[in-house]
């Protein structure tokens, strides 16, 4: 018995690297595919992600190429969704625009959720005075309007430094503005786990506080983190698009959905698809992500978070 | 529709009922074969362990099963098959002709409505009366269930009532329309023993007063023995035995019933010898498994033969079969060998092995003046200003000694401070004052500040086995971590030791790599024990460690604890509300009331006269699994008070049945030595000799009355 086990066990632990990730991926998909909501959401988001990834290879034209003779074209077999005032192919621009917005929103969300989770678990687990102080600071962050902060920081940064990548500033701002809400949700999930007996027995074993927080408590709040991250992602997309609409974000002439909607709004009567197409792309992605989040939540029987 | 109900038909007749639930997670055969009849004016007890389908039978009688359930067989209420009725016809019956009392009164009552209107609502819904008449009737109902001040109690909200009062309101609501059938699903399980006793008294009294049939579902044999006329025992969805209550308890003719009876700690018999608990090996037959032609109990049964695994036994009348019956002719058993079922089936009634105490080593744990107050720190302006409320006195000046190799039982109702005591001892709740000494060495209040050796010498087992293991980590995690922390062994050695520990607590070592959710509650609790035993602790604090377990599993765990103690000589602080368990396992007993020590001493001394009036009341309330047990008369109403601030006087004065006067309210009771003087202390104003004569006189009077 003992010899058999000592030979089997190390193998099992070396195989964990790839196998564990693979198991997690399989588990995620079976979870999402359990409900209709999740299936539709996954399909919509999947199409978006795949198109964004292979976009550069399937765009019929370079997205920044001018076709002066073909201004304001209606959808034709050459230009599938028509062209804008400079004769640029709208289909190519929508495809290319997906990349930047998905990258910025995802990176910002991951930043905010990671930060928020650390703050939430710490504050919830430690409790008492520490919790009071952390939560008041979080409240203070909550009072900052993210859009105004973004405008302020981007303007200051572009004045101070000539060449600055605005997308990293936006990622940072999404991270900062999502941290407070996220940490509150994670904190309340932690508060539900903290009094449970297995946490108490870890304390009685004399485990270090950090070990208890991140080895014992964190795995139990991860389902909440997952749903929270998915919901936040759609907000991040809307914020990024909103900044693009106001002219902040990806530098022209690179395509950006928000900017395309705003700059083509004046030619809505001649080339309606020039602003509608990126708008529809945006809306379908946000709806898809929300469906996905609902699907995960339904499959896990988690209650709806009132904090939206 | 009312005309359709035939008056001459039996009140409730369940015939060959089978209920199957279909869910994405599998098919659950909750009830496989149940037949049961209830007549007017009788109480039928339905008893069994968790998951055996007793609640499903109760819900089937109300027609309350969800759409995912497939129901076979018939449930006839006054001749009408309930399973064929439409929703509106069922609504006509429920609350009116059939009423139900649930386990938890807190969730049965609407917290945002006063209780009076909640009862009136039932009356207005089913009876053709106006609101004034409904009000008058609700007051009558409150009076009939023994609620004090029935005129005004209806204006209170549920949270303003104690648990016992809430359950009385729920019973009043069930009785509102004079139901023909009353279904009570574990109506006393969530209540304290003292409250349970008063509710059971009420039910016994109601039985004679209202002309209704009552189905009483419970897992507790003591409770069933107190109230039922007839008892049906369920196992794995089948009714395995059915008999009049006295017959069932005296002459069980199914091995499972005999097993259940021998799992319950009983008071010592007439010969004064305490019996070792026997336990039923294995676990309950899985509800997801399809039934073959076999006896479902065969895998756990000491009588099992070849034939038991190839044929399913029919329900046969055993009243003439070897057992002298009372002549009622309705003793049914689902066993091939009912004649072979004897009281010694689960092992001879062995006298318990006496422990050999090593008294000279001195106490393991010495507690003096332990004190813990809660909530004193809140100020009006968060950090400043006057305090919002006076602190709650959770523990006040508790002294106790835990001898090496001994078990001290800590008893009391909920709110008496016993869990706080446990948490203060292990250091989860730092003490406010007093001293804790482990082997004569001072202990810090907070577990974080104690040394590794001290932590390893004192371990804890919790009440809820499911929450004791981290659901996201493998079963072995807690054991391996404890080994690596305390025994200082490397990873490979700790795995090997963990496997040995798993075997020591009677579990398969392969469980170590499983997920905790795959284990049953009893198995999870054994893992928790293995993790507590990991580093050979000197003291294990068990906070209601067996309360959440079924009786058969509870007996297994209790025996495991005792065996471990005999082998290693460790000590236990055993916290429980169950006096039967305390009586069985403890060498010493500490009785706590509202954070104060009421009585402390060796088990025998505490459990016999003279004892503190509170101990007396607790003992009097504890249900005994014997239908012939004489009903005791001391009852406590209300619940343990929350004492705040500078309280003087006796904490028990407010509920004490033996209160002697103002002195009880104003002066703290003196600590008196018991008559034998062997470290037995009673904190009471009544002199010991007087207590003794009072209590002896009472038990004498009871003997004559009985």
A214 DSSP assignment: I
Interface of B with A in 339-398 (CB under 8 A): 382
A193-203 pLDDT, tens per residue? 999 999 999 99
DSSP run (H or E) holding A80: none
Q: How far apart are the first and last CA of chain B?
A: 47
B515-560 pLDDT, tens per residue? 888 888 888 999 999 999 988 899 999 998 888 888 888 888 898 8
DSSP for B26-90, written as a single string: EEEEEEEEEEEEE-TT-EEEEE--TTSSHHHHHHHHHT---TTEEEEEEEEETTEEGGG--HHHH
Spatial distance between the Cα atoms of B591 and B586, rounded to a whole number of angstroms: 12
Spatial distance between the Cα atoms of B253 and B334, rounded to a whole number of angstroms: 9
pLDDT at B315: 83
pLDDT at A248: 81
- At A12, the pLDDT band (50, 70, 90 cuts) reads very low
Contacts of B486 in chain A (CB under 8 A): 205
Spatial distance between the Cα atoms of B573 and B422, rounded to a whole number of angstroms: 8
**Token reading at B705:** 């009355």
Q: What is the mean pLDDT of residues A256-271?
A: 86
Spatial distance between the Cα atoms of B610 and B601, rounded to a whole number of angstroms: 12
Interface of B with A in 496-525 (CB under 8 A): 496, 499, 509
Q: Is the pLDDT of residue A9 over 70?
A: no
Asked if B468 and A197 come within 8 Å (Cβ–Cβ), the reply is yes
**Token reading at B2:** 């009312």
| DSSP bridge partners of B81 | B76
pLDDT at B491: 83
Give yes or no for A132 touching B (CB within 8 A).
Answer: yes
pLDDT at B348: 62
Q: Give how far B469 is from chain A: nearest CA, Å.
A: 5
Q: Is B41 left (phi over 0), alpha (psi -120 to 50) or beta?
A: left
Name A152's Cβ contacts closer than 8 Å, sequence gap at least 6: none
Spatial distance between the Cα atoms of B611 and B634, rounded to a whole number of angstroms: 13
DSSP for B491-523, written as a single string: HHHHHHHHHHHHHHTT--GGGGGS-GGGS-HHH
Per DSSP bridges, beta strands B539-543 and B458-461 are parallel
DSSP for A263-304, written as a single string: HTGGGTTT-THHHHHHHHHHHHHHHHHHHHHHHHHHHHTPPP
Q: How many H helices and E strands in chain B?
A: 23, 26
Asked if A6 and B450 come within 8 Å (Cβ–Cβ), the reply is no
Neighbours of B661 (CB within 10 A): 9
* Full 3-state SS string of A131-192: HHHHHHHHHHHHCCCHHHHHHHHHHHHHHHCCCCCHHHHHHHHHHHHHHHHHHHHHHHHHHH
- Among A224, A233, A229, A232, smallest CA distance to A297 is for A224
Its pTM stands at 0.83
Helical spans, DSSP H, in B363-413: none
**Token reading at A150:** 């973004």
**Per-state percent for chain A, helix, strand, coil, to nearest 5:** 75, 0, 25
User: Does the interface ipTM go beyond 0.85?
Assistant: no
Q: How far is CA A125 from CA A189, A205, A211, A212, B260, in A?
A: 10, 17, 12, 9, 43
Q: Residue B166 CA to chain centroid, in angstroms?
A: 19
Q: Give how far B185 is from chain A: nearest CA, Å.
A: 27
B135-151 pLDDT, tens per residue? 999 999 999 998 888 88
Q: How far is CA B211 from CA B59, B89, B204, B328, in A?
A: 22, 23, 12, 22
| CB half-sphere exposure, B360, CA atoms < 13 A | 0
Per the document, the length of chain B is 706
- Closest to A2 (Cβ–Cβ): which among B450, B460, B496? B496
Give yes or no for B489 touching A (CB within 8 A).
Answer: no
Spatial distance between the Cα atoms of A213 and A189, rounded to a whole number of angstroms: 12
Q: Is the pLDDT of residue A54 over 60?
A: yes
**Token reading at B234:** 């369920």
Give yes or no for B213 touching A (CB within 8 A).
Answer: no
Give yes or no for B460 touching A (CB within 8 A).
Answer: yes
Query: A–B: how many Cβ contacts below 8 A?
Result: 71
DSSP run (H or E) holding B272: none
Question: Which residue, chain included where needed, has tokens 């459990």?
Answer: B607
With vertex at residue A48, the alpha carbon angle to CA A47 and CA A54, rounded to the nearest 5 degrees, is 85
Name A28's Cβ contacts closer than 8 Å, sequence gap at least 6: none
- Closest to B460 (Cβ–Cβ): which among A2, A9, A201? A201
Asked if A206 and B448 come within 8 Å (Cβ–Cβ), the reply is yes
Asked if B481 and A132 come within 8 Å (Cβ–Cβ), the reply is no
Q: Helix or strand or coil: residue B99?
A: strand
**Token reading at B336:** 């091939």
Give yes or no for A198 touching B (CB within 8 A).
Answer: yes
Query: Do the Cβ atoms of B455 and B447 come closer than 8 Å?
Result: yes
Give yes or no for B641 touching A (CB within 8 A).
Answer: no
- Among A192, A180, A177, A176, smallest CA distance to A224 is for A192
pLDDT at A284: 94
Name A108's Cβ contacts closer than 8 Å, sequence gap at least 6: A170, A171, A172, A173, A174, A175, A178, A236, A239, A240
Report residues of chain B scoring pLDDT below 50.
1-5, 322-327, 703, 705-706
Per DSSP bridges, beta strands B596-602 and B571-575 are unpaired
Spatial distance between the Cα atoms of B28 and B531, rounded to a whole number of angstroms: 32
Per the document, the length of chain A is 308
Share of chain A above pLDDT 70, in %: 91
Spatial distance between the Cα atoms of B234 and B239, rounded to a whole number of angstroms: 4
B248 DSSP assignment: H
| DSSP bridge partners of B72 | B18
| B230 vs A81, higher pLDDT | B230
Strands, E assignment, B109-188: 181-185
pLDDT at A307: 39
Which long-range CB contacts under 8 A does B449-455 form with residues at least 24 apart?
Answer: B450/A206, B452/A206, B452/B485, B452/B486, B455/A204, B455/A205, B455/A206, B455/B485, B455/B486
Asked if A204 and B426 come within 8 Å (Cβ–Cβ), the reply is yes
Spatial distance between the Cα atoms of B639 and B637, rounded to a whole number of angstroms: 7
| B99 vs A31, higher pLDDT | B99
Q: Residue B232 CA to chain centroid, in angstroms?
A: 19
Q: Is the pLDDT of residue A218 over 90?
A: yes
**Token reading at B634:** 């001391």
Query: Do the Cβ atoms of B37 and B77 come closer than 8 Å?
Result: no
Q: Is B670 left (phi over 0), alpha (psi -120 to 50) or beta?
A: beta
Query: Do the Cβ atoms of A216 and B472 come closer than 8 Å?
Result: no
Q: Is the pLDDT of residue A56 over 90?
A: no
Q: What is the mean pLDDT of residues A240-269?
A: 84
Contacts of A198 in chain B (CB under 8 A): 467-470, 478
- State which residue of chain B sits closest to A206, comparing Cα positions: B448
């Amino acid at each position: 018995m003992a010899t058999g086990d000592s030979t089997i066990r190390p193998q099992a632990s070396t195989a964990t690297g790839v196998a564990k990730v693979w198991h997690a991926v399989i588990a995620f998909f079976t979870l999402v595919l359990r409900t209709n909501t999740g299936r539709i959401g996954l399909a919509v988001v999947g199409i978006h992600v795949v198109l964004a990834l292979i976009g550069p290879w399937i765009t019929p034209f370079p997205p920044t190429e001018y076709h002066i003779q073909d201004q304001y074209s209606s959808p034709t077999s050459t230009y599938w969704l028509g062209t804008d005032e400079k004769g640029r192919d709208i289909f190519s621009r929508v495809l290319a625009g997906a990349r930047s917005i998905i990258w910025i929103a995802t990176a910002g969300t991951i930043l905010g959720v990671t930060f928020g989770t650390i703050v939430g678990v710490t504050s919830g687990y430690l409790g008492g005075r520490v919790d009071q102080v952390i939560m008041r600071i979080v409240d203070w962050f909550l009072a900052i309007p993210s859009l105004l902060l973004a405008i302020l920081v981007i303007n200051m940064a572009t004045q101070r430094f000539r060449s600055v990548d605005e997308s990293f500033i936006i990622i940072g701002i999404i991270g900062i503005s999502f941290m407070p809400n996220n940490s509150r949700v994670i904190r309340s999930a932690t508060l539900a786990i903290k009094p449970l007996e297995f946490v108490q027995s870890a304390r009685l074993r004399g485990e270090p506080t950090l070990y208890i927080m991140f080895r014992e408590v964190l795995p139990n709040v991860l389902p909440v983190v997952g749903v929270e991250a998915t919901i936040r992602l759609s907000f991040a997309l809307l914020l990024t698009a909103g900044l693009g609409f106001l002219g902040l974000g990806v530098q022209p002439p690179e395509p950006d959905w928000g900017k395309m909607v705003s700059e083509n709004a004046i030619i809505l009567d001649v080339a309606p698809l020039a602003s509608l197409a990126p708008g529809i792309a945006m809306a379908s992605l946000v709806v898809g992500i929300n469906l996905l989040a609902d699907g995960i939540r339904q499959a896990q029987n988690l209650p709806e978070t009132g904090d939206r | 529709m009312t005309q359709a109900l035939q008056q001459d038909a039996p009140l409730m007749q369940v015939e060959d009922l089978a209920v199957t639930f279909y869910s994405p997670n599998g098919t659950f055969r909750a009830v496989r074969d149940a037949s049961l009849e209830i007549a007017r004016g009788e109480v039928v007890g339905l008893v069994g362990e968790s998951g055996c389908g007793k609640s499903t039978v109760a819900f089937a009688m109300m027609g309350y099963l969800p759409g995912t359930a497939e129901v076979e067989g018939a449930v006839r209420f006054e001749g009408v098959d309930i399973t064929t009725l439409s929703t509106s016809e069922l609504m006509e019956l429920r609350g009116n002709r059939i009423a139900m009392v649930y386990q938890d009164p807190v969730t049965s009552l609407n917290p945002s409505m006063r209780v009076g209107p909640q009862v009136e609502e039932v009356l207005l819904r089913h009876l053709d009366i106006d609101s004034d008449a409904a009000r008058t009737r609700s007051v009558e109902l409150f009076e009939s269930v023994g609620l004090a001040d029935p005129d005004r109690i209806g204006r209170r909200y549920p949270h303003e009532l104690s648990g016992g009062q809430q359950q009385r309101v729920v019973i009043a609501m069930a009785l509102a329309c004079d139901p023909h059938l009353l279904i009570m699903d574990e109506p006393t399980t969530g209540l304290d023993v003292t409250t349970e006793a008063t509710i059971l008294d009420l039910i016994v009294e109601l039985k004679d007063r209202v002309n209704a049939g009552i189905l009483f579902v419970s897992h507790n044999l003591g409770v069933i023995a107190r109230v039922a006329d007839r008892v049906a025992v369920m196992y794995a969805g089948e009714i395995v035995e059915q008999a009049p209550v006295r017959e069932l308890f005296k002459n069980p003719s199914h091995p499972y019933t005999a097993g259940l009876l021998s799992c319950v700690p009983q008071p010592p018999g007439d010969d004064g010898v305490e019996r070792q608990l026997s336990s039923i090996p294995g676990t309950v037959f899985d509800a997801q498994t399809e039934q073959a032609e076999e006896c479902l109990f065969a895998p756990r049964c000491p009588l099992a033969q070849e034939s038991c695994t190839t044929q399913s036994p029919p329900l046969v009348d055993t009243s003439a079969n070897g057992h002298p019956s009372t002549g009622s002719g309705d003793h049914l058993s689902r066993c091939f060998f009912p004649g072979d079922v004897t009281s010694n089936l689960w092992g001879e009634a062995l006298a318990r092995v006496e422990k050999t105490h090593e008294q000279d080593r001195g106490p393991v744990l010495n507690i003096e003046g332990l004190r813990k107050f809660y909530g004193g720190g809140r100020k009006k302006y968060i950090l400043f200003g006057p305090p919002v409320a006076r602190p709650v006195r959770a523990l006040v000046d508790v002294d106790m000694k835990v001898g090496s190799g001994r078990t001290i039982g800590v008893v009391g109702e909920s709110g008496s401070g016993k869990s706080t005591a446990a948490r203060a001892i292990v250091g989860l709740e730092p003490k406010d004052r007093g001293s804790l000494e482990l082997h004569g060495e001072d202990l810090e209040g907070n577990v974080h500040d104690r040394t590794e050796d001290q932590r390893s010498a004192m371990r804890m087992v919790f009440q809820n086995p499911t929450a004791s293991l981290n659901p996201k980590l493998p079963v072995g995690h807690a054991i391996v971590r404890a080994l690596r922390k305390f025994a200082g062994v490397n990873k490979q050695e700790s795995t090997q030791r963990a496997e040995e520990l798993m075997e020591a607590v009677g579990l398969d070592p392969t469980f170590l790599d499983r997920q905790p959710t795959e284990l049953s509650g009893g198995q999870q609790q054994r893992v928790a024990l293995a993790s507590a035993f990991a580093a050979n602790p000197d003291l294990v604090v068990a906070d209601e460690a067996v309360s959440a377990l079924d009786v058969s599993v509870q007996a297994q765990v209790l025996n495991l604890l005792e065996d471990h103690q005999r082998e290693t000589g460790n000590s236990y602080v055993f916290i429980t509300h169950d006096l039967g368990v305390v009586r069985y396992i403890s060498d010493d007993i500490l009785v706590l009331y509202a954070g104060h020590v009421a009585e402390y001493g060796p088990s025998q001394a505490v459990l016999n006269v003279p004892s503190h009036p509170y101990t007396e009341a607790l003992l009097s309330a504890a249900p005994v699994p014997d239908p012939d047990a004489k009903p005791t008369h001391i009852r406590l109403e209300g619940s343990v008070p929350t004492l705040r601030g500078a309280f003087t006087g006796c904490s028990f004065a407010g509920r004490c049945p033996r209160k002697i006067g103002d002195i009880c309210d104003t002066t703290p009771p003196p600590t008196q030595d018991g008559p034998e003087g062997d470290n037995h202390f009673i904190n009471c104003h009544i002199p010991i000799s007087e207590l003794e004569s009072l209590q002896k006189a009472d038990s004498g009077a009871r003997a004559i009355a009985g």
